[in-house]
Amino acid sequence: MTLETISTNRSFGGVQGVYAHDSQATGTRMVFSVYVPPHAEGQKLPVLLYLSGLTCTHANVTEKGEFRRACAEAGVIFVAPDTSPRGDEVADDEAYDFGKGAGFYVDATQEPWAAHFRMRTYIEQELPDLLAEHFPVDRTRQGITGHSMGGHGALTIALRNPDRFRSVSAFAPIVSPLNCPWGEKALGGYLGQDRVAWRAYDACALIEDGARLPELLVDQGLGDNFLEGQLKTHLLEEACKASGIPATIRMQEGYDHSYYFISSFMADHVAWHAERLKR
């Protein structure tokens, strides 16, 4: 697969790059960022995939996430894809929580979204193959994390692919789209009104249906305006407890939903993933 280099910058001895390619999954040009830490020639490195939230692109965490020092110290590649397909030919919605910037990491089945909104296939299949072809990635050592809508993506992708990810974490994830306005709007619009089909995209439902994780780390701000109405972290706590999934869910006093919150705990998450990816 052909890869276009948009930019590269030296950082903490490694290289922060931004890249683009023509995606077969979405039928559009997709942009993503990759930080490769310093390493020996020929060495394969563990990789941490970060999925962003509503309205974001790869740029939000790349510019505000403060992950590079931690990744350089731990020897972990950090990958940040976009949240949806882009382009004039891609269907959109005027609202911030649907359409471009709000792909919810699903493969849409409803028109006009089905033509391009195939973020599940992009993240689960196409992007990993592209990374393995062009970067020093060890595909046997993969972790996944994300924020908000991206936390939902990280949890559900990991639960559907239990043999692929050694480590899973999230920042303020949408834990049950079946039970919040953001999720009901997105899943109903992209997948139709059969709520049974939604269960593949709901972390709590997947756990209830038998999916498991080896363990889980979640940070959630207690000052987050979306906590009660949209995120509902307690539902994930209850699901993990009922299923026996070891979950460290940290409710952080005074923190909101922003990148000030994410960057405060990013180094913790990188170190947590690195420990598990290097076992």
What is the CATH number assigned to the segment(s) 3-278?
A: 3.40.50.1820
- pLDDT tens across 182-191, in order? 999 999 999 9
pLDDT over 90 (residue 72): yes
pLDDT over 90 (residue 220): yes
Burial of 228 (0-12, 13-18, 19+ CB in 10 A): exposed
Indicate the DSSP class of residue 107. Answer: B
Single-letter amino acid code for the residue at 119: M
pLDDT average, residue stretch 229-237: 98
pLDDT over 90 (residue 209): yes
The single residue of 148, 167, 169, 176 carrying the catalytic annotation is 148
7 is catalytic: no
202 is catalytic: no
Q: What is the pLDDT of residue 279?
A: 83
pLDDT average, residue stretch 258-270: 98
Give, in degrees to the nearest 5, the angle at Cα 21 between 84 and 4: 135
Q: What is the pLDDT of residue 1?
A: 79
11 is catalytic: no
The single residue of 58, 152, 257, 273 carrying the catalytic annotation is 257
The single residue of 23, 224, 269, 273 carrying the catalytic annotation is 224
- pLDDT tens across 89-123, in order? 999 999 999 999 999 999 999 999 999 999 999 99
- pLDDT tens across 79-96, in order? 999 999 999 999 999 999
Residue indicated by tokens 């899973």: 168
Residues 6+ apart with CB under 8 A from 45: 36, 37, 39, 75, 76, 77, 136, 137, 138, 141
